[in-house]
């Protein structure tokens, strides 16, 4: 590779070019080559615009050039309004003329079969060798509303009225869905500063755009629509960086369902990791997961208030009992807490509101507030701003006719501004009846007004979670990945194609300090008896063979063996059954192990995900995993915080905490095993495909792996071998 590593700085010519050339510019109003020129003019783009077309002299009053070389000035960005078959030659022309960046709309590449894939590969090669930054192909383009760079032909992105609130960046893997989200946001009073449709991501990828926006001072919130991330390692690092500087990343990741995964694969050609793993990855990195496009809009509006809720304790103020209850249901469904107010707080509020109004939570001011006495809305607020048990106050209605200079409105805003409470006004979504006249004044003062169709309560719950994660990051309670080293070099044991028996897998766990059962491999009955006597009864006997991973299925395991006679019989039966089960199996012998006392059985597993690489799974044993899918995932390597969170996340965590009168088990010991497994697969990632500790038995104090399985890769990643 001859070019300098791509960085966010080299994306500047894409986002802030001083000059733009339009290849394939046209006078024909039906062609995108015309629409693109018009879009730049309508957008009042501040730089130079050079339409390129040998057949035209002028387009919309601009001089048209016959080729790039005819332009004497430096061209930062070329926008390709040409069809697929002309992309390659145009790109070569750009390189010759030292153009720094390009946007390619044309489709007909990797999404269109073999020919297209080849063509895309040559484009990729040109870009990598020349260092030119590319958006596309097969994309809708790039818009920077802060400088009028409307790099798109899409009508949806051009004739949309924008407002001043422009600090949310948006990057999308779907052009059409992205455009719809852009319009919906603009209609809700939120204009994105950047809109980037990455298309086939031939050069600039989803996470490159995120990187740019992290470094960009004009961006306060980074949002995106994602079908499949190509570089999760990079995205993880970026997310960590963004969290530290309190610049949230909110992503709508589709393909949750089996159908979605299928469709995503055929749509973008990118690999789609299991949705459960994406979920774990987002939790781990602090990326906010949007459930739908509304979350992007509402979350941004909430975040742009520059207040973070201190917690999830929410009080609802309503003038309709029914609406109050409905919103309370919604809050609790999304994880916000609606606790009853303390009696003294209730009494303070009661003093100045009608006697039939309710002061429990929701506070129901009754129709009196809505119809005749809007000043009632101030009463609970005056009290709640000083209530230490309240983090969030939600008004489910608001006086529609308070004008910007109304003294009551001013007092309302003063109370809100001087309070650390997070305050939200949400209204029932009706055409022409859901936005109070004072809405923009309120929003300027940090009080968002969001109608219910944008689901602000779901977004608020996400903001509470984000705030918590941000505070932890700030306080440093989200630690770095701990340094854990194995005792011995394992590369030779894990050579590609190697098969490991349970005992060998356990040895590897031991070398990373993971406690396993005391054990010894016997090859004769006599030896088995000797080991059993040394270990102490009761013992367990199991076949030890790299070819028999499912020992129960082979009937080659015997538990709770109490004496020499039983050892002798068990040994015979195990050898016989193992031979019957798989006559070709290589059998190391019979493993004699201590019989572990009862404890809580958990599972720690590792899979090698095509998107995320090594992913660690945790869950309780047996039916919890199988029936309830009560498991959690995190991408390796784990921090201590990751390990704790993945344990706390499962529902059956209650059992670990000591449900049904049983004592609390040693959660720290589970964390320890998770971190050691993480270290093992990080150190030997190129060698390990799967790992299963099942069961891992946890006690009030201590932990032991009762069984282990480790699958070595068939072949090792070439580049990594070269690098290492």
Q: Which of residues 662-691 bind a second copy (CB under 8 A)?
A: none
**Neighbouring-strand partners of residue 288:** 250
**Could you say whether residue 260 binds a second copy (CB under 8 A)?**
yes
Return the closest-CA partner of residue 76 out of 66, 84, 68, 64. 68
Stretch of residues binding a second copy (CB under 8 A), selected from 10-18, 249-257, 383-391, 600-608: 249-257
Select 356 or 718, whichever has its Cβ closest to a second copy.
Answer: 356
Select 626 or 700, whichever has its Cβ closest to a second copy.
Answer: 626
Among 233, 322, 496, 658, binds a second copy (CB under 8 A): 322
**Could you say whether residue 262 binds a second copy (CB under 8 A)?**
yes
Among 90, 107, 284, 285, binds a second copy (CB under 8 A): 107
Stretch of residues binding a second copy (CB under 8 A), selected from 73-81, 322-330, 585-593, 667-675: 322-330
Query: What's the half-sphere exposure (Cβ side, CA atoms, 13 Å) at 258?
Result: 0
**Could you say whether residue 111 binds a second copy (CB under 8 A)?**
yes
Residue recorded with tokens 């854990």: 484
**Helix (H) / strand (E) containing 278:** helix 275-285
Among 496, 536, 610, 622, binds a second copy (CB under 8 A): 622
Select 329 or 534, whichever has its Cβ closest to a second copy.
Answer: 329
Return the closest-CA partner of residue 20 out of 3, 42, 40. 40
DSSP string, 75-122: --EEEE-S-GGGHHHHHHHHHHTT--EEEE----SGGG-HHHHHHHHH
**Could you say whether residue 651 binds a second copy (CB under 8 A)?**
yes
Going by C-beta distance under 8 Å and a sequence separation of 6 or more, which residues neighbour residue 51? 21, 22, 25, 33, 37, 59, 62, 63, 64, 65
**Could you say whether residue 324 binds a second copy (CB under 8 A)?**
yes
Select 100 or 330, whichever has its Cβ closest to a second copy.
Answer: 330
Return the closest-CA partner of residue 92 out of 55, 67, 56. 67
Cα torsion 608, 609, 611, 615: sign: negative
Query: Is the Cβ–Cβ distance between 20 and 50 less than 8 Å?
Result: yes
CA pair distance 274, 463, nearest whole angstrom = 25
**Could you say whether residue 338 binds a second copy (CB under 8 A)?**
yes
**Could you say whether residue 654 binds a second copy (CB under 8 A)?**
yes
Select 247 or 289, whichever has its Cβ closest to a second copy.
Answer: 289
CA pair distance 464, 458, nearest whole angstrom = 10
Select 148 or 321, whichever has its Cβ closest to a second copy.
Answer: 321
Pattern 121-160, a second copy, x by CB under 8 A: ----------------------------------------
**Could you say whether residue 108 binds a second copy (CB under 8 A)?**
yes
Among 659, 700, 720, 721, binds a second copy (CB under 8 A): 659
Select 371 or 722, whichever has its Cβ closest to a second copy.
Answer: 371
**Could you say whether residue 560 binds a second copy (CB under 8 A)?**
no
Among 245, 367, 565, 664, binds a second copy (CB under 8 A): 367
534-557: b (≥16 Cβ within 10 Å) or e? ebeebbbbbbbbbebbebeebebb
CA pair distance 631, 593, nearest whole angstrom = 29
HEC per residue, 344-388: HHHHHHHCCCCCCCECCCCEECHHHHHHCCHHHHHHHHHHHCCCC
**Could you say whether residue 7 binds a second copy (CB under 8 A)?**
no
CA pair distance 159, 498, nearest whole angstrom = 62
**Could you say whether residue 355 binds a second copy (CB under 8 A)?**
yes
- Other C-beta atoms closer than 10 Å to the C-beta of 340 total 12
The size of the interface with a second copy (CB under 8 A), counted in residues, is 76
Site for a second copy in 442-481 (CB under 8 A): 453
Select 121 or 257, whichever has its Cβ closest to a second copy.
Answer: 257
Site for a second copy in 180-199 (CB under 8 A): 180, 183-184, 187
**Could you say whether residue 361 binds a second copy (CB under 8 A)?**
yes
**Could you say whether residue 173 binds a second copy (CB under 8 A)?**
yes
Residue recorded with tokens 């910007």: 404
Stretch of residues binding a second copy (CB under 8 A), selected from 82-90, 129-137, 266-274, 474-482: 266-274
Query: Is the Cβ–Cβ distance between 361 and 341 less than 8 Å?
Result: yes
**Could you say whether residue 437 binds a second copy (CB under 8 A)?**
no
Stretch of residues binding a second copy (CB under 8 A), selected from 93-101, 127-135, 327-335, 709-717: 327-335
- Output the smallest distance, CB 40 to a second copy, in A: 21
**Could you say whether residue 263 binds a second copy (CB under 8 A)?**
yes
Q: How many helices (H) and strands (E) does the chain have?
A: 26, 29
Site for a second copy in 370-429 (CB under 8 A): 370, 428-429
CA pair distance 603, 680, nearest whole angstrom = 16
Select 245 or 367, whichever has its Cβ closest to a second copy.
Answer: 367
Select 95 or 180, whichever has its Cβ closest to a second copy.
Answer: 180
Site for a second copy in 224-243 (CB under 8 A): 225, 227
| Distance set, CA 451 to CA 294, 305, 435 (Å) | 11, 16, 7
Select 331 or 529, whichever has its Cβ closest to a second copy.
Answer: 331
Question: How do beta strands 600-609 and 613-620 pair?
Answer: antiparallel
Residue 600, helix vs strand vs coil: strand
């Amino acid at each position: 590779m001859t070019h300098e590593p791509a960085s966010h700085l080299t994306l500047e010519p894409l986002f802030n070019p001083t000059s733009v050339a339009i290849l394939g510019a046209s006078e024909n109003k039906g062609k995108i080559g015309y629409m693109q020129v018009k879009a730049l003019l309508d957008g009042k783009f501040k730089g130079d615009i050079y339409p390129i077309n040998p057949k035209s002299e002028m387009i919309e009053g601009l001089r048209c050039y016959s080729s790039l070389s005819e332009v004497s000035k430096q061209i930062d960005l070329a926008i390709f309004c040409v069809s697929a078959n002309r992309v390659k030659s145009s790109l070569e022309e750009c390189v010759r003329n030292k153009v720094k960046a390009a946007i390619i709309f044309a489709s007909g590449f990797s999404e269109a079969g073999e020919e297209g894939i080849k063509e895309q590969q040559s484009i990729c090669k040109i870009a990598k060798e020349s260092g030119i930054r590319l958006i596309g192909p097969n994309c809708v383009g790039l818009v920077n509303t802060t400088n009028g760079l409307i790099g798109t032909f899409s009508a949806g992105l051009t004739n949309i009225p924008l407002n001043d609130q422009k600090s949310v960046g948006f990057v999308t893997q779907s052009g059409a869905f992205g455009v719809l989200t852009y319009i919906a946001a603009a209609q809700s009073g939120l204009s994105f500063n950047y809109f980037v449709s990455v298309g086939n991501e031939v050069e600039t990828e989803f996470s490159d755009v995120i990187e740019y926006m992290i470094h960009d001072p004009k961006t306060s919130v980074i949002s995106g629509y994602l079908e499949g991330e190509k570089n999760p390692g990079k995205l993880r690092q970026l997310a960590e960086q963004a969290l530290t500087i309190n610049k949230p990343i909110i992503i709508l990741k589709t393909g949750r369902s089996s159908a979605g995964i299928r469709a995503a694969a055929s749509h973008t050609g990118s690999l789609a990791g299991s949705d459960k793993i994406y979920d774990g990855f987002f939790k781990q990195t602090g990326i906010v997961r949007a459930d739908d496009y509304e979350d992007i809009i509402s979350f941004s509006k909430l975040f742009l208030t520059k207040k973070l809720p201190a917690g999830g304790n929410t009080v609802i103020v309503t003038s309709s009992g029914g609406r109050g209850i409905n919103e309370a249901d919604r809050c609790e469904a999304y994880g916000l807490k609606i606790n009853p107010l303390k009696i003294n707080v209730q009494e303070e509020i009661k003093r100045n509101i009608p006697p039939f109004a309710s002061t429990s939570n929701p506070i129901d001011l009754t129709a009196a507030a809505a119809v005749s006495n809007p000043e009632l809305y101030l009463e609970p607020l005056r009290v709640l701003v000083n209530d230490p048990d309240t983090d969030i106050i939600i008004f489910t209605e608001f006086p529609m006719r308070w004008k910007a200079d109304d003294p009551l409105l001013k007092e309302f805003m003063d109370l809100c501004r001087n309070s650390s409470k997070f305050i939200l006004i949400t209204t029932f979504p009706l055409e022409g009846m859901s936005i109070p006249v004072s809405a923009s004044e309120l929003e300027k003062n940090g009080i968002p007004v969001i109608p219910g169709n944008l689901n602000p309560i779901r977004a608020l719950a996400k903001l509470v979670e984000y705030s918590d994660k941000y505070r932890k990051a700030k306080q440093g309670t989200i630690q770095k990945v701990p340094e854990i080293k194995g005792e011995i070099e394992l590369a030779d044991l894990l050579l590609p194609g190697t098969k490991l028996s349970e005992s060998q897998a356990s040895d590897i766990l031991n070398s990373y300090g993971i406690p396993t059962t005391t054990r010894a491999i016997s090859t004769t009955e006599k030896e088995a008896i000797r080991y059993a006597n040394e270990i102490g009864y009761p013992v367990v006997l199991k076949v030890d063979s790299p070819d028999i991973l499912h020992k129960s299925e082979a009937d080659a395991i015997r538990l709770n063996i109490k004496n020499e006679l039983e050892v002798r019989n068990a040994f015979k039966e195990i050898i016989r059954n193992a031979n019957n089960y798989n006559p070709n199996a290589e059998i190391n012998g019979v493993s004699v192990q201590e019989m572990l006392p009862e404890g809580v059985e958990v599972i720690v597993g590792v899979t090698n995900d095509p998107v995320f690489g090594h992913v660690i799974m945790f869950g309780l044993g047996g039916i919890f995993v199988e029936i309830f899918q009560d498991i959690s995932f995190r991408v390796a390597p784990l921090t201590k915080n990751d390990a704790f969170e993945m344990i706390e996340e499962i529902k059956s965590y209650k059992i670990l905490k000591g449900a049904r009168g049983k004592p609390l088990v040693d959660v720290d010991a589970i964390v320890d095993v998770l971190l050691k497994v993480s270290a093992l697969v990080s150190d030997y990632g190129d060698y390990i495909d799967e790992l299963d500790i099942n069961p891992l038995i946890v006690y009030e104090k201590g932990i032991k792996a009762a069984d282990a399985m480790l699958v070595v890769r068939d072949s090792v990643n070439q580049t990594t071998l070269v690098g290492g």
